[in-house]
Structure 1
Amino acid sequence: MPPISSPERPEQRRGQRLFFVALLFGVLLNFPLLAVFDHGGRVGGVPVLYLYVLLAWATLVLLTGWLVKAK
């Protein structure tokens, strides 16, 4: 009979974390949050919406890379 409180395998935890990152990506790039940044403002000549999408994407790519490399 296997123990009741066995520690999770690292691959399983990594999968759960990557799933969380995918959900976070879906939430950050969904309509209600995009609508907040969809106005005529500019930062350094770049529309705020474009800057938000680029920064959200880059952050999530870096987070995914860090999670995949972490042991």
Structure 2
Amino acid sequence: MLPPTEQAEQRRGQRLLFLAILFFVLLNFPLLASADVDGRLGGVPVLYLYVLALWVLVVALTGYLVRKSA
């Protein structure tokens, strides 16, 4: 059995890996194509907003996971 600190590190690594895979899927063709419409929100294309929102979300969740575990 692993010591608690190693278990926490292993869980953090698994969560970060899951997060990376999740955002890879969200930025892959079928979902990315669904945001590629002619519409605009506030003068900004929807596709740009989708990618920006996902990027902000991945940065925020990664920061949260790293700080929570540290």
TM-score, structure 2 normalization: 0.88
Aligned length: 67
Q: Which runs of 4+ in 1 moved over 6 A?
A: none
Task: For 2:47, give the aligned amino acid.
Answer: L
Normalization by structure 1: what TM-score? Answer: 0.87
Alpha-carbon deviations, 1:11-56, whole Å to 9, x = none?
Answer: 0000000000000110110010011010100000000000000000
**Structure 1: gaps (5+ residues):** none
Secondary structure in 2 matching 1:39 = coil
Match of 2:60?
62
CA RMSD of aligned residues (A): 1.6
Structure 2 portions without partners, runs of 5+: none
Q: Which has the higher helix share?
A: 2
Percent of aligned positions that are identical: 66
What secondary structure does 2:54 align onto?
A: helix
Give the superposition deviation at 1:69. 0.6
